[in-house]
Structure 1
Amino acid sequence: MFLGLDWNDLLEISLTIAGGAFATVRWVIPWFAQRKKEGRLARSLHPFYTASEIKSHTKYFIPTQCQSKSPSESNEINRDTEPREPLIPYFIRIFEKDKDDYVFMVLADSGMGKTTFMINLYYTYHRKWQKKYKIRLLPFNAGIDEELDKIPDELRRETILLLDGLDEDPQAIEHPNERIAALLKKISHFQTVVITCRTQFFAREEDIPTALPFGSMSPTRAQRRIVTRYISPLQPEEIKVFLRKKFGRFSIRYRNCLQFIEQYKELVARPMILNYIDFLVDKAPQYQYSYQVYAQIISRWLEREHNIRGKGPGFSENLYNFSRFFALDLYHHTEHLSIADLTALQKLSDQCQVGLDLFDMQAHSLLTRGAHNNYKFSHKSILEYFLALELFENPAFAKTFKGFEGMDMLRKFYQEMVLDKIAKPFFCEKFGLENGKQYSAEEVMRIKGCLGCGSMFLPIGSHEKAFFFNFSLDKLKDVTQIDLSNTDLQDFRILACMPKLQQLNVANNPALCSFDYLFVEGLNRDLKEIQVQGTNIQAATLENGVAFVYV
């Protein structure tokens, strides 16, 4: 007995205290380690990366994996069978040994974690007690050439250089070949150089540089290759590790997120989307396209900003409008790709009644302030989403649009919007396919006529856009009535997939001039009536007694 307690009670109390102390230490030590890491990086990477950016790229970091072939060659982004290896240990080994190759390209799609990898690679090497070289990390922006020029020649041979985001370099977007050649010459005397870039920045695989266009910095380096590595998509187990770090193994949000990723494996294989998964899971609609996911991300961000700041009911709308104005301004000033003129930013902000302090936000902000007070979207794909909206909704912008070069996600978002908001409703109205199959943008754009016989062009609304429609549709085999009027129909080949058709309207299709393909191989034996006014089809007598309507 001790203090009136028997030994069993004392043992239970001791175990409880020990368990609580262990749990506290287990939480406190990682917390202090993360704070120390963020503080060290914030000091060494200032002013190129903000504290909030560093936190978002390091707090839930999952070690980046790499592979020698592009993951885009696989049918499913997170089912790639290419051999993988940890990317940071790979480069740590490279940094510490003599080698012939000293320029490396790390390629990945949008939102695949290129900046996250670079910040964590920098930190891993920077914190080593015994390291052979210095290391610098610089993002591509309007002032990168000046930053490189500041590094003395005598230090370049002792410096590892990390350059993040070649696809965001204004000069590279305008003149890629000339810029890359000049850049490789400028960095020729650094010890080792690692450059990240979007895979789609290079139109073809052959466009990816594979060798230096000049003598290497050391006569002992006989080979002058540029080595390319691709960031691997997150695998299911890596995604679960991320979710456990963020939410805890036994939380309800963790289980909800597991259900979400099971349904949308392709989306969450991108670390950027995974960072927003808590936004996506809450009130998640049935996403069918990438642009819908981005719309939800932006919607949740606006809601979050409104709640934090306690503004009036129009604040979210003003902030949304400002983001679109900001995207247009960036597009029309691509030589900067971010706004360095605070006067211009203030003017845009005043138009939407949003203060500049809005942009000093945490990791989930759409806008961040970088070096030299440059303001930009936290991810280039956010910029491309807003530009896709403008291209889809703003005819004035569409007339001045310069093309999709260097903006692969803009092209994808725009195609999805056209498909979802124009093409699908049009086809549903014409064919009664409200419950039909889901079509991808690739399916709509692919020329695939019935039985390989060709395709039909459909002008959509006032835009007069021609779409190729995939007629290999099981849903059409039971159609008995169809209205194909005013569709610029060229012939009757489409009807080969409608064997039960009874009534047909092809009015106001002047290109129709014959019944070719209408009754072949016993098809359309049940056809009873055809409306042909506004065509060049002449009256004819058919064996099955079809009635023609010319008025």
Structure 2
Amino acid sequence: MIEPTTSFLSIASLPKLVKGLLPLANRLADSRDKRTAELCAMGDTFGSPFDLARFYVEPCCQDYNPAEHDEDNHPAVATKAPVFATIDSFLREDYPLLADGSRQMFILSDAGMGKTSLLMMIKLNQLMAFWPSGFDCRLLKIGADTLKIVEAHPDKANTVLLLDALDEDPLAWGNTKARVLALLAATTRYRRVLISCRTQFFPDTEPDPFGRPTRVRMGNYTCPVKFLSLFDDGQVARYLAKRFPNRWRDRFYRRDNPTRQRAGEVVLGMHSLRFRPLLLAYIDHIIEAEAREWNPYTLYQALVESWLAREEEKLRRQMDHPPSRKTLWRVCATVALDLQQQGKRLLSRTELDGLAGGFPALINLERFNVGGRSLLNRNADGDFRFSHYSIQEFLVAHALVNGVAPQESHGGIRVTDQLLAFLIASGGITSALLERLGFGEKGIAFAFPEWLNSGESWGRPMPGVHFYDRLSDGSPGPRMQWIPAGEFLMGSPEGRGFSDERPQHRVRFHAPFALGTYPVTFAEYDRFCAATHRRQPDDYGWGRWQRPVINVSWRDAQDYCVWLSEETGHDYHLPSEAQWEYAARGGTQTEYWWGDEIGHNRANCAGCGSQWDRERTAPVGAFAPNPFGLYDTAGNVREWTADCWHPDYQGAPVDGSAWREGNGSNCSRRVLRGGGWVDLPRFLRSAYRGRSNTDGASGDTGFRIARAI
């Protein structure tokens, strides 16, 4: 049992730890003892422990994912605690030796938030003898040999096991929950286990049976979980003070270090991104860049550009015919693409030689500075790796956006949440690029990155980005479109439209949601019919597959949503009437999303000028999408919504929810939106409201699905 006064971790030990480490940095090459061997191994796998300790600022942690809670409106969920004290309490607590998950904690956060650095600092405390004697500590990058290593360790009961980067483990890709359960089963006899992972990669879990928000349940294990918090302004200031301390001349002139002042000005322009420890760690690179509008893509671009400028200057001094900076970008992109395609972090010398056969300039990688402040590291075996996985992801995104990657390689690239975030922030993403990457076709599913769920991004439409959830057999579900939070005027003003479209009123959506990119197709609905043994609706011989399903009632559409929710584990439903109109307008207030006139060949209706007018349905996606990325919101098929029919908008909800009761509601009839292939143009207007009995089904009626985000 640990004495109450004995700590595993204490921020008060940090100055002594740094003081003890610094002499070792100069003796690594000459010393052969166990401690220096472990320091060398740590540097090879995770990066320099010496630089980390010198500039380390302790982060805080919290019980809730910061991306999912509005801290201004819900301060109780944002309660933060110093992470050292939190983990120290976990390590010292006297838990019974049970295989129930209570001694195995998950550390979650977005990329670049300091998960690896935290585990390294825990290991350094043990190496430098700043925790109780008699206890070991093992730090491992999760990989193919992890289970074998942890099972072979001799003194599990007195060992703290640190497992880093579940999200980088190829054995977890597409099989995350099973991989986590295997790791938990293999580590139950350790004193304590800490497992780090990106939040977006972490599998869905069940709630704690006792309702504790600090626990997650997976299988037979109920484990504690902590989320690393973003830095606050005080932590940013402490980091800059450590990184750029006042020199004797600054003290003489009674001023702050000018470089620190410049860094402070730059980080203010980074807005919320300044609170990410990884970006702060490279602030000296970023301040060399020209001032610009910062986002994740431009920050990493400045970071890499500054690094390659230094490498280019060095190569000019060493070589008669040095490569250009453009060539160095391509060298790094080629390596990053190869690693991403293979699902690896390390590139061996043999593999480098193989790549150089097709691109000889790659051999210049041998001349790069490695380690220290470089974005490229090299381990004791000579293998290359980028200093952080997000550097590799950025280089892949940059290559794709700028056309560096050969098109035939795109389908093999693993698209992570962070890589997707870079693509979106670049402003250069196109639907064609997403198709080549395999979105919706090759089975690459993705979760929304944390920064898209932040308050800053809820109001940003992303028309080129679609996603889908996997069905129970692993195949893709319907393609979905992100709809940003925001507000709009619903209905028609006096003197326009019909009386049931008034009074015009303001509706506000406080959170984003998703709608089907297209109306549900026959292919998607027929799969539901096969799974539930129900009769397929008639297509009149027009063709099934990618045509919108027709001859479905409101109840049929509801049944499909229930089935899809069960298949995917996500909340699918019919959209509310307000959701439908807000998304169909796509930020416009005109009669149709493209203007006040129907135009020519904009939609499929009676008088729209298309080849299908008053003949039959058109395949989905036959016309241009609206500004939110939705297809066929005007014409083709009328679409069911969740709302009961009301004769006007008196008393209608203003929060975007479905309206079911009140003001003469008739729930035996439900609202239809969008107009169909047999309708005149005035019935395709964004504000137009139709209705039909819940059991009614016709050849011009289908539906579109909604999903909670």
TM over 0.5: yes
2:116 maps to amino acid: T
**1:364–1:513 Cα change, 3 Å:** farther
Q: Aligned pair 1:70/2:65, yes or no?
A: yes
Distance apart, 1:316 and its partner CA = 2.9
Q: d(CA) in 2 for partners of 1:80 and 1:232?
A: 14
Cα contact 1:140–1:165 (8 A) shared by 2: yes
Q: Aligned pair 1:408/2:417, yes or no?
A: yes
Secondary structure of 2:370's partner?
coil
Cα contact 2:323–2:361 (8 A) shared by 1: no
Secondary structure of 1:72's partner?
helix
**1:139–1:537 Cα change, 3 Å:** closer
1:396 maps to amino acid: Q
Secondary structure of 2:291's partner?
coil
Q: 1:406-485 counterparts in 2 under 5 A? A: 407-417=416-426, 419=427, 442-445=460-463, 446-447=482-483, 451-452=489-490, 471-472=586-587
| Aligned position for 2:641 | none
Q: 1:156-171 counterparts in 2 under 5 A? A: 156-171=156-171
Distance apart, 1:261 and its partner CA = 2.1
Cα contact 2:308–2:328 (8 A) shared by 1: yes
Q: 1:315-394 counterparts in 2 under 5 A? A: 315-334=324-343, 337-339=344-346, 341-349=348-356, 351-355=360-364, 357-358=366-367, 361-370=370-379, 373-392=382-401, 393=403, 394=405
1:57 maps to amino acid: L
**1:357–1:243 Cα change, 3 Å:** same
Secondary structure of 1:138's partner?
strand
Q: 2:407 aligns with which of 374, 389, 396?
A: 396
Secondary structure of 2:272's partner?
helix
1:172 maps to amino acid: A
Q: d(CA) in 1 for partners of 2:346 and 2:47?
A: 19
Q: 1:295-306 counterparts in 2 under 5 A? A: 295-306=301-312
Cα contact 1:340–1:372 (8 A) shared by 2: no
| Aligned position for 1:426 | none
Q: d(CA) in 1 for partners of 2:146 and 2:224?
A: 23
**1:140–1:292 Cα change, 3 Å:** same
| Aligned position for 2:200 | 200
Distance apart, 1:290 and its partner CA = 1.3
Distance apart, 1:492 and its partner CA = 2.9
Cα contact 2:352–2:362 (8 A) shared by 1: no
Cα contact 2:163–2:196 (8 A) shared by 1: yes
Q: d(CA) in 2 for partners of 1:71 and 1:121?
A: 23
CA deviations 1:377-409 (Å, max 9, x no partner) are 2211122222223444357257515663xx111
Q: Aligned pair 1:495/2:595, yes or no?
A: yes
Q: d(CA) in 2 for partners of 1:292 and 1:75?
A: 26
Distance apart, 1:53 and its partner CA = 2.2
Q: d(CA) in 2 for partners of 1:157 and 1:119?
A: 21
| Aligned position for 2:276 | 270
Moved more, 393-402 or 298-307: 393-402
Cα contact 1:453–1:493 (8 A) shared by 2: no
Cα contact 1:349–1:356 (8 A) shared by 2: no
Q: Aligned pair 1:117/2:118, yes or no?
A: yes
**1:353–1:165 Cα change, 3 Å:** closer
Secondary structure of 1:248's partner?
coil
Q: TM-score, length-normalised on structure 1?
A: 0.67
Q: d(CA) in 1 for partners of 2:430 and 2:162?
A: 44
2:225 maps to amino acid: T
Q: Aligned pair 1:254/2:260, yes or no?
A: yes
| Aligned position for 2:53 | 58
Distance apart, 1:184 and its partner CA = 1.4
| Aligned position for 1:90 | 86
**1:80–1:285 Cα change, 3 Å:** farther
Distance apart, 1:66 and its partner CA = 1.0
Q: d(CA) in 1 for partners of 2:308 and 2:75?
A: 35
CA deviations 1:102-137 (Å, max 9, x no partner) are 101011100001111111112224422643411111
Secondary structure of 2:216's partner?
coil
| Aligned position for 1:210 | 216
Q: d(CA) in 1 for partners of 2:39 and 2:594?
A: 61
Cα contact 1:377–1:383 (8 A) shared by 2: yes
Cα contact 2:371–2:378 (8 A) shared by 1: no
Secondary structure of 1:325's partner?
helix
Q: d(CA) in 1 for partners of 2:81 and 2:16?
A: 29
Cα contact 1:390–1:397 (8 A) shared by 2: no
Distance apart, 1:176 and its partner CA = 1.2
| Aligned position for 1:180 | 180
2:230 maps to amino acid: P
Question: What are structure 1's unaligned runs of at least 5 residues?
Answer: 1-27, 215-223, 424-437, 459-467, 478-490, 497-503, 518-535, 540-551
Distance apart, 1:332 and its partner CA = 2.4
**1:76–1:402 Cα change, 3 Å:** farther
Secondary structure of 1:104's partner?
strand
Q: Aligned pair 1:140/2:142, yes or no?
A: yes
Q: 1:44 aligns with which of 38, 42, 46?
A: 38
Secondary structure of 2:195's partner?
strand
| Aligned position for 1:104 | 105
**1:345–1:144 Cα change, 3 Å:** farther
1:162 maps to amino acid: L
Q: d(CA) in 2 for partners of 1:184 and 1:61?
A: 30
Cα contact 1:111–1:272 (8 A) shared by 2: yes
Q: d(CA) in 2 for partners of 1:422 and 1:53?
A: 38
**1:325–1:278 Cα change, 3 Å:** same
% identical equivalent positions: 22
Q: d(CA) in 2 for partners of 1:29 and 1:133?
A: 20
| Aligned position for 2:299 | 293
Q: TM-score, length-normalised on structure 2?
A: 0.53
Q: d(CA) in 1 for partners of 2:299 and 2:207?
A: 31
**1:255–1:105 Cα change, 3 Å:** same
**1:170–1:373 Cα change, 3 Å:** farther
**1:200–1:67 Cα change, 3 Å:** same
Cα contact 2:341–2:414 (8 A) shared by 1: no
Q: d(CA) in 1 for partners of 2:87 and 2:593?
A: 58
Cα contact 1:57–1:115 (8 A) shared by 2: no
Q: 2:241 aligns with which of 224, 241, 244?
A: 244
Q: d(CA) in 1 for partners of 2:301 and 2:584?
A: 27
Distance apart, 1:239 and its partner CA = 0.3
Q: d(CA) in 2 for partners of 1:390 and 1:149?
A: 41
Cα contact 1:415–1:441 (8 A) shared by 2: no
**1:374–1:150 Cα change, 3 Å:** farther
Cα contact 2:286–2:299 (8 A) shared by 1: yes
Distance apart, 1:234 and its partner CA = 0.5
**1:421–1:340 Cα change, 3 Å:** closer
**1:99–1:510 Cα change, 3 Å:** closer
| Aligned position for 1:526 | none
Query: Would you tell me which structure has more helix in proportion to its own residues?
Result: 1
Distance apart, 1:352 and its partner CA = 1.9
Question: What are structure 2's unaligned runs of at least 5 residues?
Answer: 1-14, 29-34, 97-101, 209-214, 247-255, 432-455, 464-481, 493-514, 519-582, 609-633, 635-677, 682-709
1:381 maps to amino acid: S
Q: d(CA) in 2 for partners of 1:207 and 1:364?
A: 42
Q: d(CA) in 2 for partners of 1:207 and 1:371?
A: 44
Q: d(CA) in 1 for partners of 2:237 and 2:116?
A: 21
